Structure 1
């Protein structure tokens, strides 16, 4: 595993991996916040 990490660091590809992981995590967070807003909207309608 260390050899793969060293190879990615040498080529500068480690930053591509970090960037992709960051984009995926940000997308996941936006998705969860969107679901939270939808659920709260449905809860408000149910309590009327």
Structure 2
């Protein structure tokens, strides 16, 4: 099985911080499979 590589952008991180249902559900679905999330360098600064 290949691992998924989701790329979290500014909108996704803000949605997770605000506990938006759709973002939380997507994140929880990813925990069921091996994955390595990617957050590009400028994204945390934007958040």
Shared fold per TM-score greater than 0.5? no
Greater Rg over alpha carbons, structure? 1
Quick check: which one's strand share is greater?
2
Quick check: which one's helix share is greater?
1
Question: Structure with the greater relative contact order (CA < 8 A, sep ≥ 6): 1 or 2?
Answer: 2
